[in-house]
């Protein structure tokens, strides 16, 4: 019996040497993350960058702003300034920031924060000021008449103290209960200005209700509550020989005849009275 020839060993497939690149950083890496399962080139890793530090919400305070008999509920950051608050109030009331005066335990300065002012929850902050439309409406009609009166006033050489209208009141002497006066300057006191006289010789007191945007003129018989915007002008002059006191005229209409005269006003409060009534933005 003839032996079977030995089976031929399976011929090995030729091996093709694959050229490799020693610079591994230039190889294209494959990733099985494609939807169809086929490897996809993996380039520079893409990441979504979130802020390193999430900004914490600002601490706020709830309070009320009062203007022109209206109340506004405000929620505002404690560390924002009065200047920033004025811009917010402008959006609510229409009063330009430059024409606003914010009152909170006195006049609030623009650079102060609400925290520095120690504004508390539920506090009331008063706004004094008028919109541009209100100012224009109040002054346009009377502007020329007021200018004429000012010219007449400047042309007058006789002082208030020497004019017969005022002299008869001054000759009665300084009232015993008038507030002390001096030649300096001070802010408005927290109490009414009292002990003064009107052109009839009767006692008169001035109460500034800034939260209502009003001036109350009180006498023995009545109290007139005047909107600050209705007072067109304020004139004043120190009393000759007693310059620590002044004569003041509040112009309630378009002409000089509408002036309400007040005598023995402590001179240190004159400028503060003018600022409170007219503000520092005067258009005539």
For residue 144, what pLDDT is reported?
Answer: 65
Q: Which CATH number covers residue 174? A: 2.30.29.30
Let me know whether 112 and 183 are in one domain.
no
Q: How many CA atoms lie within 13 A of 265 on its CB side?
A: 30
Let me know whether 256 and 186 are in one domain.
yes
Burial (Cβ within 10 Å: 0-12, 13-18, ≥19) of residue 260: middle
Q: For residue 45, is it within any domain? A: no
Write down the pTM of the prediction: 0.48
Q: For residue 34, is it within any domain? A: no
Domain that holds residue 263: 160-278
pLDDT in tens, 3-15: 555 554 444 444 4
Let me know whether 114 and 221 are in one domain.
no
Tokens of 99: 């024409």
Q: Phi, psi at residue 61, to the nearest 5°?
A: -135, 140
Let me know whether 123 and 188 are in one domain.
no
pLDDT in tens, 184-206: 999 999 999 999 999 999 999 99
Tell me how many domains the chain contains: 2
Q: Which CATH number covers residue 70? A: 3.10.20.90
Last residue of a domain, one of 100, 134, 168: 134
Let me know whether 115 and 182 are in one domain.
no
Let me know whether 120 and 187 are in one domain.
no
pLDDT in tens, 99-120: 899 999 888 999 999 999 999 9
Last residue of a domain, one of 134, 152, 173: 134
Last residue of a domain, one of 134, 168, 183: 134
**CA atoms of 67 and 101, how far apart (whole Å):** 11
What would the DSSP string read from start to end of 224-255? EEEEGGG--EEEEEEETTEEEEEEEEEE-SSS
pLDDT in tens, 218-263: 999 999 999 988 999 999 999 999 999 999 999 998 888 899 999 9
Q: For residue 145, is it within any domain? A: no
Contacts from 136-139 at CB under 8 Å and sequence distance 24+? 136/283, 138/229, 138/230, 138/232, 139/232, 139/283, 139/284
């Amino acid at each position: 019996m003839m032996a079977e020839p030995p089976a031929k060993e399976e011929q090995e497939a030729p091996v093709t040497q694959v050229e490799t690149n020693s610079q591994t950083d230039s190889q294209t890496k494959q990733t099985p993350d494609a939807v169809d399962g086929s490897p996809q080139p993996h380039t520079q890793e893409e990441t979504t960058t979130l802020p390193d530090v999430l900004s914490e919400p600002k601490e706020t305070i709830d309070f009320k702003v009062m203007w022109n008999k209206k109340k506004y509920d405000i929620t505002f950051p404690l560390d924002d300034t009065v200047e920033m608050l004025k811009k917010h109030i402008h959006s609510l009331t229409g009063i330009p920031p430059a024409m606003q005066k914010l009152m909170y335990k006195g006049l609030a300065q623009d650079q102060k924060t609400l925290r520095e002012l120690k504004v508390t929850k539920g506090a009331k902050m008063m706004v004094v000021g008028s919109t541009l439309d209100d100012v224009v409406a109040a002054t346009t009609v009377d502007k020329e008449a007021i200018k004429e009166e000012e010219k007449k006033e400047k042309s007058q050489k006789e002082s208030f103290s020497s004019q017969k209208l005022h002299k008869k009141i001054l000759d009665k002497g300084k009232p015993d209960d008038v507030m002390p006066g001096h030649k300096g300057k001070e802010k408005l006191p927290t109490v009414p200005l009292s002990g003064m006289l009107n052109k009839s010789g009767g006692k008169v007191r001035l109460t500034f209700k800034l939260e209502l945007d009003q001036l109350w003129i009180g006498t023995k018989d009545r109290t007139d509550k005047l909107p600050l915007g209705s007072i067109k002008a304020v004139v004043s002059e120190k009393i000759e020989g007693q310059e620590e006191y002044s004569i003041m005229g509040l112009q309630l209409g378009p002409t000089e005849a509408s002036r309400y005269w007040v005598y023995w006003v402590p001179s240190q409060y004159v400028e503060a009275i003018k600022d409170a009534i007219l503000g520092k933005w005067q258009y005539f």
